[in-house]
Structure 1
């Protein structure tokens, strides 16, 4: 059996251990691995109380909880989860009060998760590393000299290290998929409109952001997606879920990059290997030129930078943030947003629509697209420093590392990443797959086919599920 959150839920359901024992194991693992910097806040009392409540439920009440009794952590960005005030990695929000559960947080609890803490996020999610100036510095458990990615790096590090088997995460410009790719995990960015955004519907990022989780397995990604998605009652149309057709799929393959965005050979070769596996399972592979995706990818990255700036400038005013308590890059991004004129903002709105159109046109001829997730191995600590004010350089550095990450966010399309082998240093080789709006089932089916090859194994046991 796979070692993942589903396996832990099954073990709890069979009485092999109680939810309290699972929680005690996660709390112990969190304390033991404090130096990893993955967890910024632990509330043992709350976690144990949640586990005890689950243990006291009747069998009938537990029956519809796919993750019954499973300990988990929430990201310090997004949500919120009641009882855990979100500080977004910033000193400017350290005095914030705890809000009640968001609609999505309530669905996580209804699925059986028992929350006991928050994970590290860079300040306001502005980095593909997880190194807020206020601390802690989050490290990659696969190699502590490397970053786990961002902005859901704390969640990814906690799952990869086995502190928890699954953790809440958010994705506005690759923030689920990049850390998953860095840490050898599965990360699904859902379609726009599938995830509940209530009760406040802040829409701080114009619909490009979504929430879900970083996972140890594709089956966990599938289970959590279908447990918490749908009936969003939000400001965006909810896409109809598209089932995977019985026939073989036409899969586009981007197995090259250009001179402006070079990808290391191992991370291109793994795409070819993934394509061969899918072809052997009955799908057809059609080459897609890098130029066909690079243009929309660059436009998406540029649009993400501007949306982040407008959003943060608005939030700074709306919440009267003390900018003296924020990082240098945060201040520069806010200033960038404040300088944008109305015409530029309207042009940005149009650009988002055209990016979505360009991506739809790709899927006129294919059913899914395999493309690079990262251009290199996970970056060393400090590679995405936020102690300077050059916003163009900062956002370009992130685009060069994950050149197509923002494409899914700006277009609203779903995308998934998963490891498909290891490089010469033992670091994961990720594959990214895109699909049309509402085709999460298709993505998950393709990812499951790749996962069955068993080309990647997690080096750390899950707390409570170890041998």
Structure 2
């Protein structure tokens, strides 16, 4: 804990945290596989007792939570010691973490660049060596995008795999889930049994897909709009998986276009409707940023048929993706279309919510489809570009394939294409 706090002070200019607990308020963990390990908690999700959260917004008072969510209890039972909240964009509405209320979160490898969003503060803190892993959430790529920006492992679990109780069992219509960003596949694998199993919520706890022989890897290498260096990471990862004994099958990016479009429509409507419910619960829109206001207005004006269409889009996307999994066991496809963008590339001082959705889809073109369909997805660093920034690939499996993704991730990790340039706690890596 002392080393984590010292490192946090040393990288304060990165804006990774928006709140830190006094020493006297951090309970010591006595047991568990991660006993004593310091943990940073995302300022959106939870709640964690003793960690005040306001979702990156001045519209919400920073009130200390008095009780743990089911997931928070599992983090504590595993031995973690939560001691701070990490920076997020207001209500998670951006793929960069730059809330007007502050601080601006910067990429540890180049502070002029974004660390991603909405779990940007968590990813930047882990990449900067403050903590070995951090709590994160994902409703449209918010675990995987920051992980890709910061050279981390980011697993978005299957719908229902992680408990969502007791207070919001169907949060965001089931598209959101919580887990963590980690520095290694090993740590994600060790964390998995601590947080999953016997989940409470509206969805069944999915059984994990059994292991079998060589997997059919569906390789999506013809996606448009991907920078050449990042596009090249896909065939490189495919070759490594083929060397490990798996079978490669080409999947045309066009086959996923209907899923992408349906996912974008559903995501926009679900997010807008959710924010509208905050207004009916007492939130003052005037205290929010302009883009948040636009989403709120969109939600308040949305018709019942429009919202119903979002539900139909979710079902259609899930069916279409499942038909793809008739041909392959796992998809290998791009995570990001470009390097992390400059600070300011995802502004929220405008009211064009449609453009915001388009920008997010262009930057992370295959992110939201995993949320809408409930499928697990893994972002993994696989190489570095000429500027030393991480290259990333994404793996997606049918529901229940979380451990399969981690096993494939471990097979790619041993290739050694990415090495963390910043050691943990600023000491030996």
TM tier relative to shorter chain: over 0.9
**More displaced 10-residue stretch of structure 1: 160-169 or 25-34:** 25-34
Aligned pairs for 1:115-264 within 5 A: 115-245=82-212, 247-258=213-224, 262-264=225-227
Is residue 276–residue 299 contact of structure 2 (8 Å, CA) maintained in 1? yes
Deviations 1:82-130 (A, max 9, x none): 0112100000112434231100000001011111100001000000000
Give aligned pairs, total. Answer: 429
Is residue 46–residue 116 contact of structure 1 (8 Å, CA) maintained in 2? no
The answer to whether residue 15 in structure 2 is matched with residue 31 in structure 1 is no
Deviation at 1:201, TM superposition (A): 2.5
Alignment CA distance shift 1:228-1:428 (3 Å):
same
Deviations 1:388-411 (A, max 9, x none): 001111110110000110010000
Tell me the equivalent position of 1:280.
243
Equivalent-residue separation in structure 1 for 2:206 and 2:399 (angstroms): 7
Deviation at 1:185, TM superposition (A): 0.2
Question: TM-score of the superposition, structure 1-length normalised?
Answer: 0.90
Is residue 139–residue 146 contact of structure 1 (8 Å, CA) maintained in 2? yes
Equivalent-residue separation in structure 2 for 1:115 and 1:219 (angstroms): 21
Equivalent-residue separation in structure 2 for 1:28 and 1:312 (angstroms): 37
**More displaced 10-residue stretch of structure 1: 408-417 or 345-354:** 345-354
Deviation at 1:240, TM superposition (A): 1.0
Is residue 173–residue 409 contact of structure 1 (8 Å, CA) maintained in 2? yes
Tell me the equivalent position of 2:43.
76
Equivalent-residue separation in structure 2 for 1:124 and 1:192 (angstroms): 21
| 2:263 aligned residue (283, 289, 300) | 300
Equivalent-residue separation in structure 2 for 1:423 and 1:317 (angstroms): 47
Equivalent-residue separation in structure 2 for 1:294 and 1:454 (angstroms): 32
| 1:348 aligned residue (304, 307, 310) | 310
Equivalent-residue separation in structure 2 for 1:204 and 1:85 (angstroms): 19
Deviation at 1:248, TM superposition (A): 0.4
Deviations 1:167-222 (A, max 9, x none): 00000000000000000000000000111111113523000000000000001111
Is residue 36–residue 80 contact of structure 2 (8 Å, CA) maintained in 1? yes
Equivalent-residue separation in structure 1 for 2:428 and 2:39 (angstroms): 17
Q: Secondary structure at the match of 1:380?
A: coil
Equivalent-residue separation in structure 2 for 1:34 and 1:166 (angstroms): 18
Aligned pairs for 1:416-427 within 5 A: 416-427=378-389
Equivalent-residue separation in structure 1 for 2:65 and 2:363 (angstroms): 35
Deviation at 1:32, TM superposition (A): 1.5
Is residue 169–residue 202 contact of structure 2 (8 Å, CA) maintained in 1? no
Could you list the structure 1 runs, at least 4 aligned residues long, displaced by more than 3 angstroms after superposition.
Answer: none
Equivalent-residue separation in structure 2 for 1:25 and 1:466 (angstroms): 12
Question: TM-score of the superposition, structure 2-length normalised?
Answer: 0.98
| 1:327 aligned residue (279, 283, 289) | 289
Is residue 201–residue 235 contact of structure 1 (8 Å, CA) maintained in 2? no
Equivalent-residue separation in structure 2 for 1:441 and 1:46 (angstroms): 38
Tell me the equivalent position of 1:18.
none
Deviation at 1:433, TM superposition (A): 0.2
| Structure 1 spans left out of the alignment, 5+ residues | 1-22
| Structure 2 spans left out of the alignment, 5+ residues | none
Equivalent-residue separation in structure 1 for 2:76 and 2:272 (angstroms): 33
Q: Secondary structure at the match of 2:425?
A: coil
Equivalent-residue separation in structure 2 for 1:354 and 1:236 (angstroms): 18
Q: Secondary structure at the match of 1:205?
A: helix
Q: Secondary structure at the match of 1:206?
A: helix
The answer to whether residue 228 in structure 2 is matched with residue 265 in structure 1 is yes
The answer to whether residue 344 in structure 2 is matched with residue 382 in structure 1 is yes
What RMSD over aligned residues (CA atoms) do the two structures have, in Å?
Answer: 1.2
Equivalent-residue separation in structure 1 for 2:182 and 2:67 (angstroms): 25
